[in-house]
Structure 1
Amino acid sequence: MARSGIPTRERIISAANALFYNDGIRGVSVDAVAARAGVTKRTLYYHFKSKDDLVAAYLAGRDQPNLALFRQWFDAAAGSLPAKVEAIFLNLARSARHPKWKGCGFLRTSAELANMPGHPAMKIGAAHKKKFEEWLRGVFAAEGIADPLRLARQILLLLDGSFAVVLLHRDPSYMETAGEAAHGLIEAALARHRRSRRVGRGA
C-alpha cells in the first residue's frame, strides 16, 4: 500500500484535498480518504486524531497556494492597478470554465460547517480571507488610496459573491462582471486620490 517517495501525511492530505473539494466535507468518509491515500484507517488516525483535524489540514494546505496564485495573476497582468486586480477575476472565470471546478473550497467548507463556528477549519478559512484582504489593503495603501481597508473589503465581497453566483448559475461571466465592478471601484478611488493631491498642491 505504500507509495515510495511521498510522505504518508502528504498522501493523506492530497487524497483529502481531492475528495473534499469534489464531493464536500460531509459527503466523504474517513474510510474513503484512507482508501484513496492507500493507507489503513489506523494509519490515517495516527497522523490525524479526527476527521475535523483532517478537514483543517485540507484547508490549511490550500491557503498559501491560493494566495500565491492570486498574487501571480496580479503580477503577471499588464496595465494599471485596476486592470491588475481585474485580472484576478478574469483568471478565476477561466478556471471556472473547467468542468472540475467546484468553487471556493474555503467558502464551501464554511457553508457545510456554518453551525460550528469554533471548528478549526472555520478559523483557517476566516484567516485565509483576512490574508487576501490584508494583501489588497497593502497594495491600495501603497498607491495612496484613502481608506484602503474599505476598498479591500469591497473587492473581497465582489470576489466571494461571484464565487457563490457562478457556482449557482454555472456561468463564469458573472465573475467577469464582478471584475469590471472591481476595476471601476479602484479607478474611482485612484481618481479621488489624484484630485486630493491636486487640491493639496493648490492646483
Structure 2
Amino acid sequence: MDEKQGPGEQGGQVGGAPAGWYAAEPGQERWWDGASWTGHVRPVPAGGPGGPAGSGGGIAWKVVGPVVGVVAVLVVALVVTLALTLGGGDASDAPDDATTEEFCDAVEEMYGALFVFALQESDAPWETGRVVEVLTETGTPEGISPEARAGFEEVVTALERVDGMTTAEIEEIEELDTDDDPDNDSPESDAFEEYADQTCGSMFG
C-alpha cells in the first residue's frame, strides 16, 4: 500500500481526502489521517465500507454513539491533565481568524485521532504530529472567549508534548482522576469544549 496515496486515488495523487476510516484490506478498514495511512485498522462495520462514516467526510459521531463520546472526552481530559502537569509550551501563535468550517473540521479531526488513540494497544505510540499541525495552522475563529482560546492552547500544547509517547508512558506521567482531584480540572479546557459544541454542534449525539 502506498502510504501517501489517499482513499480512492490513482497513481499516488493525494487529493485531500478527509481523515477517517476507509476500506483498505479485505474485511478491514484503515485510518487515513488526512495525509497518509496509519497503522490503525478495524473490521469493516456492519453495512460495509463506503468512505468515512457519515455525509461530508470525517467521523459520524452521532452514528457511532455516546459511548465513543465518553471515550474521546476522557482522552481529552487526560491530554489537558498532561498540559497542566508538564507545563510550558505555547500555542498562542495559532491564527485567530479561522472560519467556522475550518475550525470545526480541525476539531473533528482531533477527536477522530483521540478516539483511535483510546482504542489502540498501550504500547502503541500516539502519533499526534498531524493533529497538532492541523490545529496550529487552523487556529480559532474570531469571537472566541479568552478562556476558551486558552483551553484550545492547552490542548494543542499537550498533544505536541505527547507525540511519540505510548499510552503506558503517558499514564505514568499523571494518573487521571478528574472526579476526585480538583487540581486536574481546567476551566479553560471546559470553556473550549463548550465553545466547540456550541459552534460545531455536539459530535457525540
- TM-score, normalization by structure 1: 0.32
More helix by share: 1
Structure whose alpha-carbon radius of gyration is higher: 1
- TM-score, normalization by structure 2: 0.32
